[in-house]
Amino acid sequence: MLGTLELDRITSPAQASEHIIRIDVREGDELQAGQTILALDTRRIDASVEQARADVRGAQAALDELLKGKRKELIDASRAQLGGATARAANARRERDRVAEIRKRGLNAQIDLDRAETSLQSADAERDAARANLAELLNGSRIENIELAEAALAARKAAVDQMELTRQRYTIVAAEAGRIDSIPFKLGDQPAAGAVLASMLTGPMYARVYVPASQRNELAIGSHCSVHLTGSERAFQAVVRSMRSDPAFTPYFALTGDDASRLSYRSEIVLEAGAGMDLPVGQPVQVNCAAPDTRGRH
């Protein structure tokens, strides 16, 4: 079977369209997991994080106010408002009674009495509103309002956590040990959001081959193989890691009869630990595998 040597490729996309302010590695460098590759400008997202933190402080203050109740000065002011409204209502009632007495004597018009009644009703409504406002201040916050404030605070904290996580991704680090294959941008560039900033190749090295349908049943996961470099005497021991169940080229339903032998199944055959890491990706190879042992199977 013919194929090529491959390594798994890991790509790192840009979280946002920002300038590259630092590049710490070069193509071909070997990196350990967590090592910094490059960094994007964080000034814009830093401002967003600070704004989100300010929203958290505001939501916390609103919740604290609900939990602690209103200030004594505000309650005293409400009591004073109630006292004034009560006095005005009493005066309006005395005025209405006086106008009503005069009306009985026929010394004034009905409109005067109606006007006095309206003033009394308005004064009573003002007194009742002031009494309700004072009761609200004295009784404290409703549990529903407290729960609503707690939910708002939790949502703002979650927004801060999300922004901080996004900010961490402005610094591109190696997800695992490997070799830098490509850094397509240079210092000062401003890639588009989602653009690949760096790609890494990670081990182990494996041969990607396409198994003909005629040999498909002779190969299984775990089968031992030998991988030979094309044009060289070098050879490596390897094991079949995966094998696709679907054909790689022509769909099976488009072929009949002898044409079915043209189907191929992509497989990955992993080289022994550490082998072939000095070879370039894409090196053509030839793979020979032993047929799986089927003794004892039903």
Kindly give, in sequence order, each residue whose CB lies less than 8 Å from that of residue 36, ignoring residues fewer than 6 positions away: 24, 25, 171, 172, 173
Q: Is the distance from CB of 124 to CB of 89 less than 8 angstroms?
A: yes
Q: 268 with 237, same domain? A: yes
Q: Indicate if the pLDDT at residue 237 is higher than 70.
A: yes
Rounded percentage of the chain residues whose pLDDT exceeds 90: 46
Domain count, the chain: 3
Cα 113 from Cα 99, distance rounded (Å) = 6
User: What is the overall mean pLDDT for the chain?
Assistant: 86
Cα 18 from Cα 187, distance rounded (Å) = 11
- pLDDT tens, position by position, 137-165: 766 667 788 889 999 999 999 999 999 99
- pLDDT tens, position by position, 109-136: 888 888 888 998 999 999 899 888 877 7
Q: Is the distance from CB of 168 to CB of 94 less than 8 angstroms?
A: no
Q: 121 with 259, same domain? A: no
**Residue 77, domain member (yes or no):** yes
Q: 135 with 223, same domain? A: no
**Residue 296, domain member (yes or no):** no
Q: 205 with 193, same domain? A: no
Residue 240: which domain range? 200-289
Q: 19 with 81, same domain? A: no
Cα 71 from Cα 100, distance rounded (Å) = 44
**Residue 186, domain member (yes or no):** yes
- pLDDT tens, position by position, 83-96: 888 888 899 899 88
Could you tell me the two tokens for 108?
Answer: 């004034």
Kindly give, in sequence order, each residue whose CB lies less than 8 Å from that of residue 26, ignoring residues fewer than 6 positions away: 180, 183
**Residue 263, domain member (yes or no):** yes
Q: What is the dihedral of CA 66, 68, 71, 77, to 10 degrees?
A: 60
Q: 154 with 229, same domain? A: no
Cα 225 from Cα 244, distance rounded (Å) = 17
**Residue 295, domain member (yes or no):** no
**Residue 207, domain member (yes or no):** yes
Give the residue from 108, 135, 161 where a domain finishes.
161
Q: 138 with 37, same domain? A: no
The CATH number of the domain where 18 resides is what?
Answer: 2.40.50.100
Q: Indicate if the pLDDT at residue 294 is higher than 80.
A: no
Give the residue from 107, 136, 161 where a domain finishes.
161
Q: 59 with 157, same domain? A: yes
Cα 165 from Cα 159, distance rounded (Å) = 10
